Structure 1
């Protein structure tokens, strides 16, 4: 790592730390005014943002970026409007209670749980300009300062969003605009520097391709930095023996509206006794989305995530299984554990699948594409955490970005 890259990251972290008290002390009205201001400026600065994004897209296309990654990188007029709508919804969302009464540990005393900001939270993500606004807004709502780092593909778009949208909205709301920093360096070493500063950035949100994110999580652990990592995905759909053909077609089509996202349909498991009945429906639905099936015998792991394969992302793995237990075992043991769904008309079968699957999201006659902070909770997310330990799991939003503090004080105060 060059000294210049490490210095740039540390300067951002120091600036965010100095500004953090301004945001931590801001009242709810100021925070929500900042978010509303971001929404207003997204629309007012539409042309500037789209121009910067067009330049990023042109550069990425010249460098041979795949269609799926280009889709992630692209900010269309409609997507920009959607980003503004999400900011307004976030501004209107309730602020978590800062103190929650718990009990009376002794006579004349009471115990409360206080929720405090982490302080400075880092975020590393790649070719997704919208994440700049998603994460920045979540940090502001939770009163945490932030250091954002993105790669070269989206850096131009991210810089324009920060300069034209985030910074002026914070300043107008009376909040120190330095609370949200964007690392100005595109080198990959900047990501390693971000996860190596436990004194300044104790928590880092990691979003990106599986191997690079896992590597950063391991690097962070070596430095004592905690991470909320979103490394792997891939939705699973199991078609039970009684699955309705019309419902199956709808689920497959709706699960493949976008191919470069983590919660798309990735692995389709069909009860062997229903395979001949359901396969023609599945094949027709895949063809409608221009997606090819990978059929047995597979030349890849059954849980291989196609969204991360730039050359073959328009693929879904299809396999017959003997029944629900085998389907759940495959989803548990051979996929990331992001999300799995079942198509069945029998509530008892659905309940059995729900109990058998251990992953983050489970769905009955619904697409795994719904495992998303905005679709589930009506607010943007920082990412989807798959940890199988206590703590934030699933879509992580502003309500998760705090630390607990326990206070004992006189009962009459």
Structure 2
């Protein structure tokens, strides 16, 4: 922890604070025009973005980063078009600022509860450069200034992306300082950023467990904890096994490098000998490494023996831990001990078992007969998200536009006193 803040960071904080004051009163039409301009700018600067991304990919490969991390860095023409489309989707979302309830008290006081921006939001995130655009868009639409600090692995991509969308937003009338990227990559500057409570209202870390824990331990600013996803699937003895194979396979392999992918599979003992060969063969063909308990390796010989630390590991890769459990009670106990309160799913056709799972699991998203990969703001119908909150205050689950605001009470009187 440090008490000295680099003057370059102070300047960023001052600009963000000044911009937030103006953004709080920006109209919906003005914000939407800026977002549309940002979307068009991404397409206009496609080649420049791809050139910068190629530098990041080359550097990552030279460092020997595993393929799943390199894939998270990769931008393509289709990905850039997807980011542009996502900005247009945010344009079409309702403005979360304003509105609210109105009521009159017996003494004649008229009270309005409306929604206002949080102010200045700092995003500290790893790897995926699309977060630069997503975070900026959601902050702008909700009337917040944002300070972005991405991982050093994506620094070239993030610099160009931030410049492109920032310049487009300013040309469209948004204040300077609305969108800023911290280009200082040394960890010391991240620690300094977390001390800037004079300028920043909230920090949202988005990445692995190490990043999130560091922010929680070092920040003087309120933190919304997001991201760490040690997600479980429990295959109950009354599951449709064909359906279970598809759900488990999708949860693990559709995009293994994200927080809502499956990390641990729990299989009820009564159906383990029938189910494990089915999912084991599917995983084998796809290149997924299985780290299993003693019973798992006894049934599926290609599984390697899991170590104790595997049950608490978020792999973010084509690796999965598998445990055979006696019953639903043991599955619930295992998830209680190792889960990160992100996303959990049960595959069963038994109503009572499903309801127990839904009621007793403490997580942001709990599923019956569906993939954990659905824990996503877009798939929930929110249009976009800034992250998946795994805490209970002030938001939980996919955080979209409403979660980037707070409330304000406006009271109209005509001389009332207590």
Does the residue aligned with 2:308 lie in a helix, a strand or coil? Answer: coil
Residue 105 to residue 352, structure 1, CA distance change in 2 (3 Å): same
CA contact (8 A) 1:383 1:395 kept: yes
1:293 equivalent in alignment to 2:301: no
Q: What is the CA–CA distance in structure 2 between the aligned matches of 1:405 and 1:289, rounded to whole Å?
A: 52
Q: Residue 329 of structure 1: CA displacement?
A: 2.1
Residue 43 to residue 327, structure 1, CA distance change in 2 (3 Å): same
1:47 equivalent in alignment to 2:51: no
Does the residue aligned with 1:111 lie in a helix, a strand or coil? Answer: strand
CA contact (8 A) 1:252 1:285 kept: no
Match of 1:253 in 2: 249
Q: What is the CA–CA distance in structure 1 between the aligned matches of 2:329 and 2:143, rounded to whole Å?
A: 44
Match of 2:401 in 1: 398
Aligned residues: 402
Match of 2:169 in 1: 170
Q: What is the CA–CA distance in structure 2 between the aligned matches of 1:383 and 1:123, rounded to whole Å?
A: 10
Structure 1 segments, 4+ long, off by >6 Å, are 1-5
Q: Residue 352 of structure 1: CA displacement?
A: 1.7
Does the residue aligned with 1:196 lie in a helix, a strand or coil? Answer: coil
1:341 is aligned, of 345, 349, 352, to 345
Q: What is the CA–CA distance in structure 2 between the aligned matches of 1:173 and 1:395, rounded to whole Å?
A: 29
Match of 1:303 in 2: 311
Q: What is the CA–CA distance in structure 2 between the aligned matches of 1:289 and 1:371, rounded to whole Å?
A: 23
Q: Residue 105 of structure 1: CA displacement?
A: 2.8
Match of 2:299 in 1: none
CA contact (8 A) 1:339 1:359 kept: yes
Q: Residue 234 of structure 1: CA displacement?
A: 2.3
Does the residue aligned with 1:139 lie in a helix, a strand or coil? Answer: helix
Q: Residue 69 of structure 1: CA displacement?
A: 1.1
CA contact (8 A) 2:2 2:192 kept: no
1:24 equivalent in alignment to 2:32: no
1:86 equivalent in alignment to 2:107: no
Match of 1:212 in 2: 211
Q: Residue 231 of structure 1: CA displacement?
A: 4.9
Q: Residue 248 of structure 1: CA displacement?
A: 1.4
Q: What is the CA–CA distance in structure 2 between the aligned matches of 1:66 and 1:6, rounded to whole Å?
A: 33
**TM-score, length basis structure 2:** 0.91
1:383 is aligned, of 374, 384, 387, to 387
CA contact (8 A) 1:5 1:189 kept: no
Does the residue aligned with 2:116 lie in a helix, a strand or coil? Answer: strand
1:35 equivalent in alignment to 2:35: yes
1:193 equivalent in alignment to 2:192: yes
Q: How does 1:364-375 map to 2 (within 5 A)?
A: 364-375=368-379
CA contact (8 A) 2:15 2:176 kept: no
CA contact (8 A) 1:248 1:281 kept: no
Structure 1 unaligned blocks of 5 or more: none
Q: Residue 410 of structure 1: CA displacement?
A: 4.0
Q: What is the CA–CA distance in structure 1 between the aligned matches of 2:5 and 2:125, rounded to whole Å?
A: 17
**TM-score, length basis structure 1:** 0.92
CA contact (8 A) 1:233 1:305 kept: no
Q: What is the CA–CA distance in structure 1 between the aligned matches of 2:3 and 2:162, rounded to whole Å?
A: 25
Q: Residue 227 of structure 1: CA displacement?
A: 0.7
Q: Residue 333 of structure 1: CA displacement?
A: 2.1
Residue 192 to residue 98, structure 1, CA distance change in 2 (3 Å): same
Residue 102 to residue 288, structure 1, CA distance change in 2 (3 Å): farther
Q: Residue 397 of structure 1: CA displacement?
A: 1.5
CA contact (8 A) 1:124 1:207 kept: yes
1:266 equivalent in alignment to 2:266: no
Q: How does 1:402-413 map to 2 (within 5 A)?
A: 402-410=405-413
Residue 189 to residue 377, structure 1, CA distance change in 2 (3 Å): farther
Q: What is the CA–CA distance in structure 2 between the aligned matches of 1:288 and 1:85, rounded to whole Å?
A: 34
Q: Over aligned residues, Cα RMSD in angstroms?
A: 1.9
CA contact (8 A) 1:303 1:335 kept: no
Q: What is the CA–CA distance in structure 2 between the aligned matches of 1:260 and 1:339, rounded to whole Å?
A: 15
